[in-house]
């Protein structure tokens, strides 16, 4: 089949291949979904190096992350050159047109993972992304309570405004557009400051403990999602779960009213047609991290709160504490 999207023709092979057996959604349904929400997802991806989460045979088959631009990608889809923590680099797909999203769907892309940078400056994020991740024993309602407190924290430290969305699972994401003048390390430091302030306000409900054994039944604010090469599913991305949920942008007044299961491949096009992209104004703002970085300095100076562990695949970072889970550290022999 051929689909007309944004003035381009995108060829779709095997349109009847079933991608979501539980719901009967096909590759054609996936492509038509992305065509329906194309202005919204392009806003989230525009000029951003983007990793593709691909399921060529649908959610029941093998899958992989495609970080390097696929071979045979049309010349009208540009790339951006990015560097990984290992020092290696790659050219990643960098969507600038609506048709690029549908083209990726043709190759089984369900979820798009954009970097928090633009192609013009890949070393300075222009978004602070906060991931509220429910741990065992907690659920979406717990994430909602944390999100509303997070909104207050952001406002207090620099008058920041966040844009919330469902993760497509049980969690919530809040994105804050920022000026692209801080490094990944500095933005991560700001996220840690947010997390520590949240812990002080909601000690029994929120944690930034990296080791799972220390988190308990609390919402984990995943500060490492701001580290280089760590990405979060974009708004409007389809998530690889049997009922085909999508990551749904929300207004703040909908947080706690709407539920993640309200938004899927079948229902989101109608919502988009009715209300449009409720995050469309994000690109009109760019906030400063100065107040959060001042908070981080006070945490370090007044409370001795330094850096936290990086993900395991990262090289050892300056100032990082020992990267070993506490239960193992207690049993390691001392020299």
Average the pLDDT over 253-267 and give the result. 97
Joined together, the tokens standing for residue 162 give 């966040």
Closest CA to 260 of 167, 174, 173, 175: 167
Q: Mean of the per-residue pLDDT values for the chain?
A: 96
Write the CB contacts of 90 (distance below 8 Å, at least 6 apart in sequence). 67, 68, 69, 81, 82, 84
Question: What Å distances lie between residue 129 and 36, 147, 185, 294, CA to CA?
Answer: 26, 13, 13, 19
Could you tell me if residue 61 is inside a domain?
yes
**Residue 313 located in a structural domain:** no
Whole-model pTM: value is 0.95
Whether residues 189 and 299 fall in one domain? yes
pLDDT, tens only, 60-105: 999 999 999 988 899 999 999 999 999 999 999 999 999 999 999 9
Phi-psi region of 317 (alpha: psi -120 to 50; beta: other; left: phi over 0): beta
Whether 335 has a pLDDT exceeding 80, the answer reads no
User: Looking at the DSSP assignment, which residues form a beta bridge with residue 64?
Assistant: 54
Q: Domain span at residue 292?
A: 127-227+285-303
pLDDT per position as a tens digit, 142-154:
999 999 999 999 9
Do 40 and 145 fall into the same domain? Answer: no
Q: Are residues 255 and 108 in the same domain?
A: yes
- In this structure, are 45 and 174 located in the same domain? no
pLDDT of residue 310 exceeding 60, the answer is yes
CB 57 within 8 A of CB 64: no
165/92 same-domain check = no
Q: Number of structural domains, the chain?
A: 2
Are residue 219 and residue 102 in the same domain, yes or no? no
Assess whether 168 and 299 both reside in one domain.
yes
Does 197 have pLDDT greater than 70?
A: yes
Between CA 117 and CA 257 the distance in angstroms is 31
- Could you tell me the CATH number of the domain that includes residue 154? 3.30.70.3300
pLDDT at 330: 65
């Amino acid at each position: 089949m051929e689909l007309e999207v944004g003035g381009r023709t995108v060829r779709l092979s095997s349109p009847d291949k079933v991608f979501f057996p539980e719901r009967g959604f096909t590759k054609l349904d996936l492509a038509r979904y992305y065509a329906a929400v194309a202005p919204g997802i392009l806003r989230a991806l525009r000029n951003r190096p983007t990793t593709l989460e691909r399921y060529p045979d649908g959610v029941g088959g093998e899958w992989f992350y495609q970080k390097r631009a696929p071979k045979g990608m049309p010349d009208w889809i540009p790339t951006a050159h990015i560097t990984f923590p290992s020092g290696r680099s790659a050219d990643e797909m960098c969507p600038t047109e609506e048709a690029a999203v549908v083209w990726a769907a043709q190759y089984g892309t369900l979820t798009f993972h954009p970097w928090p940078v633009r192609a013009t400056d890949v070393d300075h994020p222009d978004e602070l992304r906060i991931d509220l991740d429910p741990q065992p024993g907690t659920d979406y309602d717990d994430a909602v309570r944390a999100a509303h407190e997070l909104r207050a924290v952001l406002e207090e430290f620099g008058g920041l405004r966040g844009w919330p969305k469902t993760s497509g699972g049980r969690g919530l994401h809040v994105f804050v557009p920022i000026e692209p003048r801080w490094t990944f390390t500095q933005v991560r430091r700001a996220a840690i400051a947010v997390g520590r302030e949240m812990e002080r306000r909601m000690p029994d409900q929120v944690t930034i403990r990296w080791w799972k054994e220390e988190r308990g039944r609390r919402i984990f604010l995943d500060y490492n999602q701001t580290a280089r090469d760590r990405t979060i599913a974009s708004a409007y991305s389809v998530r690889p779960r049997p009922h085909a949920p999508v990551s749904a942008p929300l207004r703040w007044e909908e947080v706690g009213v709407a539920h993640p299961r309200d938004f899927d491949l079948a229902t989101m096009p109608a919502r988009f047609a009715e209300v449009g992209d409720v995050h469309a104004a994000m690109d009109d703002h760019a906030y400063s991290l100065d107040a959060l970085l001042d908070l981080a300095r006070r945490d370090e100076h007044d409370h001795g709160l330094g850096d936290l562990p990086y993900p395991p695949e990262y090289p050892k970072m300056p100032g990082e504490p020992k990267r070993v889970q506490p239960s193992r550290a207690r049993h390691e022999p001392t020299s």
